[in-house]
Homo-oligomer: A and B are copies of this chain.
C-alpha cells in the first residue's frame, strides 16, 4: 500500500534499536480515515474467506481491528495484556515485547472464541512475530481456524514474517520495511 509507505517516510521517526515511531497516525494519535483505508485493503483480500471474528492485542491494534470488524460485520476480540479481576476463565499465552523489554501474559476469555471460528488477526506491527504466535497459540487452544494475518507495518529485517509464512499462513502486510538507518533517518521498503 503506497500511501502507508509515504506516511511512514513523512511522519515516522526512527529511534535507536530499530524502533519505528509512528505515533502521529497509528500508535498514539490515530488518523481514522487513513486507518479505514488500511482496513479496506485487508477487507478486499479476505472478504471471501468467511471471516467470523477479528482478533488483536490491546492497545494499538484495537483501532485497526474495530474498523476491520465494521467492514466484515463481525465481532472483534482484543487480547488483554494483564489479568484483572474482571477477567475469568481465560485462554492465555506468553509473549515477549522487545519494545517494553519484558515478557507478559495475554488473555482472552474463553466465551469469546468458539470452536470453528474463522479468525483474522489484525495488528499494527510485525517484528519478531511473538505477538502473532501468542495469539495463534490461543486460537489453537480454542480450536479456531486462522484465516490470515493483516499487519500495518512489517519489519522485514526481523524474523516474524518468515516464521509465519513458513507455517503457510497468509500474512498481508501493508508496508514491509527492508531496512532502517537511524543515523540517516532513512527507510527502505521491500518491493
Give residues in A with beta carbon < 8 Å to B: 15, 19, 21, 23-24, 27-33, 35-36, 58-59, 62-63, 65-67, 69-70, 73-78, 80, 84-87, 99-100, 108-109, 111-112
Contacts and interface: CB of A to CB of B under 8 A. Distances in A.
A86 B30 contact: no
Contacts of A77: 28-30
Given A59-B59, A100-B84, A66 B21 contact: no
Contacts of A35: 66
Nearest to A90: B28
B87 A28 contact: yes
Q: Is the interface of A mostly helix, strand, loop or mixed?
A: mixed
Contacts of A109: 23, 28-29
Nearest to A70: B32
Nearest to A86: B21
Sorted nearest first, the 3 A-B pairs with minimum C-beta distance are: A32-B69, A32-B70, A58-B59
Contacts of A29: 75-77, 109, 112
A55 to B, nearest CB: 10
A33 B67 CA distance: 10
A30 to B, nearest CB: 4
Contacts of A67: 32, 66-67, 70
27 contacts: A15-B85, A23-B87, A23-B112, A24-B111, A28-B77, A28-B109, A28-B112, A29-B109, A29-B112, A30-B62, A30-B65, A30-B69, A30-B75, A30-B77, A30-B78, A31-B75, A32-B67, A32-B74, A32-B76, A59-B62, A59-B80, A62-B63, A62-B66, A66-B67, A67-B70, A84-B99, A84-B100
